[in-house]
Amino acid sequence: MNFVGELAGLATSFFFALTSIIFASTGRMVGSQVTNRVRLIFALLYLVVLNLILFREPLPLSAESSRWIWLGLSGVIGLSLGDAFYFQSLVSVGPRLGSLLLSLAPIFGSIIAWIFFGETLTALQITGIVLALAGIAWVVMSHVEPPDTPLGHTKRGVFFGMLAGLGQATGLVFSKQGMFGVFSPFQGNVIRILVAVIFIWSLTFLEGKSGATFSALREKPQALRLLALGALVGPVLGVSSSLLAVQHTEIGVASTLMALPPVIILPISYYVLKEKIGWQAVAGTILAIAGVAVLFLA
């Protein structure tokens, strides 16, 4: 039996789990905003080269204007804003809890699609949403702040994580509108990232923070190498393996396997990052992922 799709789904989760750990590290080195600005530059360079190899054109300039509008809005909301909140959440609460909060994205996405696009939610899907929310709430309530943590640090990280999930969900809904008909996801992704780069760097220059961004990188040159690695692991390897998963297995199975980064990060957080993890955090994480699985498989 061919398990290419299933293996690709697991690989996607591994790549995205690794990306969360890398960007949590760079966020603590140079700040979450610098992380977001610079990794988008690297991701754009990688995808331009990839599109040049696959389609003989670095950017899909012949694509319809409606695609550029929807995918551009998706890039601004999902990549510029949503990921900015996600990286701040990673800095505040770490990759384990931060990646789990990002599991809210499919829940937000289902609700947005139900409200604005008339997609229905079955009783089983609603059950999955309730299970996922209960699991995430359990993990959040069991989280214990270290003694030297500033007041409200975890609450702020949880709030940013929720905003990240909402941003990613909204971005994906807009992406779906822009990916009508026959259009390569690689071409769609490069449009999203290009518009996100233009938006976030225009904002950076207007706020006068471009100099501070480059100064932070000069002070921490090791962060630049990690940012280049993280951008390769996530937008290139992670997205490519996710496309392979969807192509070779059912979407419900692929989506469930791709929702496993919080579970993969658990042993890494415990053995490598030396984070104290109670049984409540493990049980809540498993419950949350089970809820996401029910939502997708339903």
Instruction: Please write the tens of the pLDDT for every residue from 64-79.
Output: 999 999 999 999 999 9
Domain ranges of the chain: 4-297
When pLDDT is averaged across residues 36-52 and rounded to a whole number, the result is 94
What pLDDT sits at residue 106? Answer: 83
When pLDDT is averaged across residues 248-275 and rounded to a whole number, the result is 82
Determine the residue type at 286. Answer: I
Alpha-carbon gap, residue 67 to 177, rounded angstroms: 8
What pLDDT sits at residue 149? Answer: 61
Determine the residue type at 38. Answer: V
Taking 80 as the threshold, does the pLDDT of residue 298 lie above it?
Answer: no
**pTM, to two decimals:** 0.88
- Percent share of the chain, pLDDT over 90: 45
Nearest to 99 by CA among 293, 264, 241, 292: 264
Alpha-carbon gap, residue 261 to 168, rounded angstroms: 16
What pLDDT sits at residue 77? Answer: 94
Q: Is 60 left (phi over 0), alpha (psi -120 to 50) or beta?
A: beta
Taking 90 as the threshold, does the pLDDT of residue 292 lie above it?
Answer: no
Range list of H helices, 61-82:
65-74
Tokens at 283, concatenated: 């049980």
- What residues have CB less than 8 Å from 187, skipping those under 6 apart? 51, 55, 60, 63
